[in-house]
Structure 1
């Protein structure tokens, strides 16, 4: 059973009206990049409202980072959006989840496919040594609706500058033209070959793919990858596609 502790907001960053990040300080605990915790606030009746959010920061960083989309009629996210530096919230310990690099088999390339806030756990992973040591090529794909949704873009560009040809950051924007970005949905870009061309890589049996984000994207991307012979990675049967399922 998770223990709940009090965390304090140290920074509220607004990406746009419905997308924000909270950086918080909490009692230290261990986690593996890719895992999630639950954030909670009490309602008017004193009942805890809680939701799962991936940790965006690296495990060695003391300040915890969460990227959150405000759901207009949501019970928790509008309240989280109102928090500012100095405000408190509740945080579950320990972290949970198996969406980690350790669960991914070896391969030549690692493809990180995400939509929206699903890019968060990938930034956590990329700030550890494991992916850079295990894979000769890493492709990060972040699909969003508008350019303003490309949260942490500067951090990914900095990683691209640092790691050179080992890393490729590929934004995908569906509702407006953006320089350097593809247009459309990830599954369609896999089907057409546009994604591989833009990332200068091949989705074959030597590739490992991690997917996090919208459940419909995950379902459709798995279908597109299966057509290429890339099947889901399971403990009893290692494969090429590892997915984050806690959104369901």
Structure 2
């Protein structure tokens, strides 16, 4: 993919945090004209040694109101993009397209009482952005953030999640959010073990949440591994929960930029 010079800005890397050997976060400056809706993604470009630019889409972790942009990435062994990205250091330049895009946003739903955010790996990123915005807390009675990883060490941003309801602008909504960590490859304190689809099928997810996944009240956003997205969508179909489209509102929204 290429992009003409008028389509992107050059931003400076402010911070890089290595979480595990394969996971890291990065924070950049934000162009004054860059706008996005919580849940959307931006296309990032890195310049290779030969001068060519590689582009990939990344959901924004940061709030639409933050003065910086933050992204959450996995290192793909031998990957053309992440191999370059993971080598960047504070002060380096990252290209960011001016136009954010994506439809994993709250306007996909016209109603609903309970919001379920189902994520695997770095797919938690758009939900962190949504949870830092005021709208979701005002619209839904309860919010369930389900975050699945392979090993407990990969559970990122837990401090951010834990501190949301202490933020001054969200304190009146304390008690709405339940964080449900899921670890698939080991027993981990405080986490469910098993794939999200298994936890839905055997009832454990709803049991821990104390809430039923129902077409009447539940609205579900899904982001992460493409196979998980497909499998979860098929499972929710058996409960009469359908993809929400502009011409036909439903109960499920997904992001397919992988």
Aligned with 1:26 (options 5, 26, 30): 30
SS of 1:14's partner is strand
SS of 1:165's partner is coil
1:179 is matched with which residue? 189
SS of 2:175's partner is helix
Superposition RMSD in Å: 1.3
Q: Is the 8 A contact 1:37 1:55 kept in 2?
A: yes
Q: Is the 8 A contact 1:22 1:66 kept in 2?
A: yes
Structure 1: runs of 5 or more not aligned: none
Aligned with 1:16 (options 3, 9, 20): 20
What does the per-residue CA deviation read over 1:161-194, in whole Å, with 9 as the maximum and x for residues that have no partner?
6544311000000111111100010011111111
2:175 is matched with which residue? 165
Aligned with 1:212 (options 218, 223, 226): 223
SS of 1:155's partner is helix
Structure 2: runs of 5 or more not aligned: none
- Hey, what's the Cα distance between the residues in 2 that align with 1:81 and 1:44? 14
1:144 is matched with which residue? 149
Q: Is the 8 A contact 1:171 1:180 kept in 2?
A: yes
- Hey, what's the Cα distance between the residues in 1 that align with 2:48 and 2:165? 43
- Hey, what's the Cα distance between the residues in 2 that align with 1:94 and 1:219? 27
Q: Is the 8 A contact 1:110 1:137 kept in 2?
A: yes
What does the per-residue CA deviation read over 1:46-75, in whole Å, with 9 as the maximum and x for residues that have no partner?
221110001100000011000000001100
SS of 1:122's partner is helix
- Hey, what's the Cα distance between the residues in 2 that align with 1:138 and 1:149? 22
- Hey, what's the Cα distance between the residues in 2 that align with 1:127 and 1:222? 26
1:90 is matched with which residue? 95
| CA positional deviation for 1:96 | 0.9
Q: Is the 8 A contact 2:108 2:249 kept in 1?
A: no
| CA positional deviation for 1:160 | 5.5
If the length of structure 2 is used for normalisation, what is the TM-score?
A: 0.92
Count of residue correspondences = 247
- Hey, what's the Cα distance between the residues in 2 that align with 1:94 and 1:62? 17
- The question of 1:106 aligning with 2:119 is answered no
Identify which range, 26-35 or 187-196, moves more after superposition. Answer: 26-35
Q: Is the 8 A contact 1:218 1:243 kept in 2?
A: yes
SS of 1:76's partner is helix
- Hey, what's the Cα distance between the residues in 2 that align with 1:41 and 1:130? 33
SS of 1:113's partner is strand
| CA positional deviation for 1:44 | 3.1
2:198 is matched with which residue? 188
If the length of structure 1 is used for normalisation, what is the TM-score?
A: 0.96
